[in-house]
Amino acid sequence: MRIASLIIALSGVAVAGGSVYVAQDYLQQQSARNSAGADGALVTVVVAGRDIALGQILESQLLRTIDWPRGSVPEGVFTDLNDLIAAPGGDPRRARRAIAEGELVLMSRVSDFGEKVTIVQSLAAGHRAMAIEVAAETAVGGFVTPGDFVDVVLTHGRNDSLRAVTILQNVRVIGVDQDSDERSDTPGIARTVTLEVDPTEGQRLALAQQAGTLSLSLRAEASELDAPIVAINLADLLQDVSPVPEAEARAPIVVRRANVLDTDL
């Protein structure tokens, strides 16, 4: 009787375990169908198989296809490699902007067959590309790279009339010398930096280049504009008393001595 009871118990455990496995497998299948969309369908989309630089020709070794839920396919995606690769002897498509490995290849990021690609394609609507001369001491020691955001500071005048004023804020760098690849992170001493400006900013920049020395101030990416920055003169720096924040000036000075209680002076 004991053996029969044991066999029945083991059989029950086995059946229960099998039921759990079947239920778990069913739930996984249902989850996969739900993630694929209401109808459970997947479509093939084209993504970058490796990093693609601005202006680079789209070739088969740079691209690959993956499955994507039909219900969440973004507009402008490619579903066939043949729509991107030029026929033998034909003019190729090029990347209008840098495309990272694994990123969906969208129509907005690639050119037509045979279309010329330059930094013009990377400009926002209504903006211009304008270059300024820089040196190591005016371009953050060479740490400015394409894709960074900078302020532009003009220094002009002589002797006591010397002054500095921030003429532009939060301007995107689109090129350093001949390099416009935003994935570039290697510092270098540049001679020119190309900025993305609107027409009014372009006029201010052109005038400022003739008025004095332009310096770049590197800032956090896509940060908000500061309040208007007041220009300063040389006389503002040559003060008889060094500038100290008001809160700190009111705070008592504490001197610490060995084996002596703290004393406020």
CA 247, distance to chain mean position in Å, is 37
Residue range(s) defining the domain that contains residue 194:
123-237
Contact assessment for residue 95 and residue 52, using Cβ atoms and an 8 Å cutoff: yes
pLDDT of res. 7:
52
Report how far apart the first and last C-alpha atoms of the chain are (Å, whole number): 95
Q: Is 247 part of a structural domain of the chain?
A: no
Non-local (6+) Cβ contacts of 46 within 8 A are 63, 64, 65, 77, 78, 79, 80, 81, 83, 84, 104, 105
Domain end residue (candidates: 65, 82, 117): 117
Clarify whether residues 77 and 163 are in a common domain: no
Number of domains in the chain: 2
Ramachandran assignment for 161, one of left (phi > 0), alpha (psi -120 to 50 degrees), beta (any other): alpha
Q: Is 3 part of a structural domain of the chain?
A: no
pLDDT of res. 263:
41
Residue by residue, pLDDT tens for the chain (265 residues) are 455 555 555 555 454 554 544 455 545 555 555 554 445 588 999 999 999 888 889 999 999 999 999 888 889 999 999 999 998 889 999 988 888 899 999 998 898 998 888 777 778 889 999 998 887 777 777 778 888 899 999 999 888 789 999 999 999 998 887 776 666 656 567 788 899 999 999 999 999 999 999 998 888 865 666 777 888 888 777 776 666 666 555 555 544 444 444 444 4
- For residue 81, the domain's CATH number is 3.90.1210.10
Give, in order, the Cα–Cα distances in Å from 132 to each of 10, 92, 110, 236. 82, 33, 29, 28
**Distance between CA 185 and CA 190 in Å, rounded?**
14
**Distance between CA 45 and CA 59 in Å, rounded?**
16
Contact assessment for residue 45 and residue 26, using Cβ atoms and an 8 Å cutoff: no
Clarify whether residues 150 and 230 are in a common domain: yes
Centre a 10 Å sphere on the Cβ of residue 30 and count the other Cβ atoms it contains.
11
Clarify whether residues 154 and 231 are in a common domain: yes
Give the single-character DSSP code of 58. -
